[in-house]
Amino acid sequence: MASPVGISLSFFCLWALLISPSVSLTCTSQTFSGNAVYPHCLDLPYLKAYLHFFYDAGNSTLAVVFSAPPSKPGGWIAWAINPSAEGMAGSQALVAFKDPKSGVAAVTTLNISSYQTLVPGKLAFDVWDTKAEEGGEALRIFAKVKIPADLAAKRKVNQVWQVGPGLTPTGFIVKHGFDGPNLNAKGTLDLSGANSGAVAGGGGEGDSRVKRKNIHGILNAVSWGILFPIGAIIARYIRTFESADPAWFYLHVLCQFSAYAIGVAGWGTGLKLGSESKGIQFTTHRNIGIALFSLATIQMFALLLRPKRDHKFRFYWNVYHHGVGYSILTLGIFNVFKGLSILNPQHAYKTAYIVVIGSLGGLALILEAVTWIVVLKRRSGKSTKPLAA
């Protein structure tokens, strides 16, 4: 059985990895054609993107250079200002791509009224001096933007950026991915340049949302992905040792009840995140989460319905209890990996969980062999006892 110190260390490593991503600052080393110089630059935290800008408060003009590699060769990049909200819906976007006919980088504008409407159109504010160029594997968008008066007064705008895989045969952009970096590629741009030279965070609500996603991931990884398997290991193997009875039962109940409580909290944060993500759904992950919550709730009631060992219905109760338990175990681990693929964090995150769950799996294999030896010896001892006269 895993020691409390080992389990705690694994939890700490997983937690530390989830909340401490690193970003290297490299935008200050970039140069542009014509030796244009921009006083402010930001290493954006997602999609390997960078923003260089200069804001002229006298005439509310923002000059920008946005640079990022498309998600695939022949893909596109986009940078946008959303005048009224966070996220892509409602934003005014500049999109760069390599024209498949001429082979030259070009820029178009998208007035994105919704996630389903991605048709080129005039923006809600003036944009001029637009051009695109290639820089290694990256594309760059150059533009000047007239900032609306209400946003100019605040000296802050909501920015969104994105990368995509390519164009359709008719010239429209192919939709981007919906992994973690794509969904988190947004934030607040301080026009005064107060956050220049530092990592550009999501700003207030954006940072809070990222934290809630991390909390959601940690709670569910610990609950469905770690504590439930530990509880199952206790019930299956520790009970084999007669000296562990009834301690194994109370440990099993404590472990599963704790997992359920943490899982409910994780499920609740998931519902909250879902309600805040209109137009974005991860159907499989959501449906498995609902199934896990439902099955785990049923399993908790099993404690109240548990017959005594000699009761005629105890066999059927065992079949039900074990069947639901192993279903939770399987779905829980699968959904943790599904969640990691959605967040798409650094490989170290998934590696940390694989190490934890792999260690538990290895422990289960060892205990499987040990308990079979114990049971066979016990049966052998009983069969060799002389019959009473």
- What range defines the domain where residue 132 resides? 25-198
Dihedral of alpha carbons 65, 136, 33, 141, sign:
negative
Of the candidates 198, 221, 236, which is a domain's last residue? 198
Instruction: Report yes or no on 239 lying in a domain.
Output: yes
Cis peptide before 246 (omega within 30 of 0): yes
**Beta strand pairing call for 138-146 and 127-135:** antiparallel
Instruction: Report yes or no on 280 lying in a domain.
Output: yes
pLDDT at 260: 92
Q: For residues 177 and 232, state if they share a domain.
A: no
Q: For residues 307 and 376, state if they share a domain.
A: yes
Q: For residues 165 and 221, state if they share a domain.
A: no
Q: For residues 187 and 318, state if they share a domain.
A: no
Instruction: Report yes or no on 125 lying in a domain.
Output: yes
Q: Which residues have C-beta within 8 Å of that of residue 235, sequence separation ≥ 6?
A: 248, 252, 325
pLDDT at 161: 92
Q: For residues 176 and 323, state if they share a domain.
A: no
Using a 10 angstrom Cβ sphere, with 0-12 exposed, 13-18 middle and 19 or more buried, the burial of residue 52 is buried
Q: What is the DSSP letter of 173?
A: B
Instruction: Report yes or no on 136 lying in a domain.
Output: yes
Instruction: Report yes or no on 388 lying in a domain.
Output: no
Instruction: Report yes or no on 389 lying in a domain.
Output: no
How many domains are contained in the chain? Answer: 2
pLDDT at 15: 39
User: What CATH number is attached to the domain comprising 117?
Assistant: 2.60.40.1210
User: What CATH number is attached to the domain comprising 326?
Assistant: 1.20.120.1770
Q: For residues 160 and 221, state if they share a domain.
A: no
Full pLDDT tens readout for the chain, 389 residues: 444 434 443 443 443 334 333 333 356 666 666 556 678 888 888 888 999 988 888 788 898 999 999 988 888 899 999 888 877 777 888 898 888 777 788 888 888 766 655 667 788 888 888 898 887 788 999 999 999 888 888 888 999 999 988 777 766 777 787 778 888 888 888 887 755 543 344 444 444 666 777 888 889 999 998 999 999 899 888 888 878 888 888 898 899 999 999 999 988 888 887 776 554 567 788 889 899 989 989 888 877 788 888 888 888 888 888 899 899 999 999 999 888 877 666 566 778 889 999 999 999 899 889 888 888 888 777 665 554 44
Of the candidates 178, 198, 218, which is a domain's last residue? 198
136: left (phi over 0), alpha (psi -120 to 50) or beta: left
Of the candidates 173, 198, 223, which is a domain's last residue? 198
Q: For residues 332 and 356, state if they share a domain.
A: yes
Instruction: Report yes or no on 291 lying in a domain.
Output: yes
Q: For residues 67 and 174, state if they share a domain.
A: yes
Q: For residues 220 and 91, state if they share a domain.
A: no
pLDDT at 347: 64
What values do phi and psi take at 333, rounded to 5? -65, -45
Q: For residues 214 and 237, state if they share a domain.
A: yes
> Strand pairing partners for 161?
79
Please choose, from the candidates 62, 166, 161, 80, the residue with its C-alpha nearest in 3D space to the C-alpha of residue 123: 80
Using a 10 angstrom Cβ sphere, with 0-12 exposed, 13-18 middle and 19 or more buried, the burial of residue 170 is exposed
Q: For residues 171 and 292, state if they share a domain.
A: no
pLDDT at 16: 37
Q: Which residues have C-beta within 8 Å of that of residue 342, sequence separation ≥ 6?
A: 178, 179, 180, 282, 285
pLDDT at 9: 37
Please choose, from the candidates 67, 43, 47, the residue with its C-alpha nearest in 3D space to the C-alpha of residue 133: 67
Q: For residues 142 and 213, state if they share a domain.
A: no
pLDDT at 230: 92
Helices 347-383/314-343 angle, 10° precision: 160
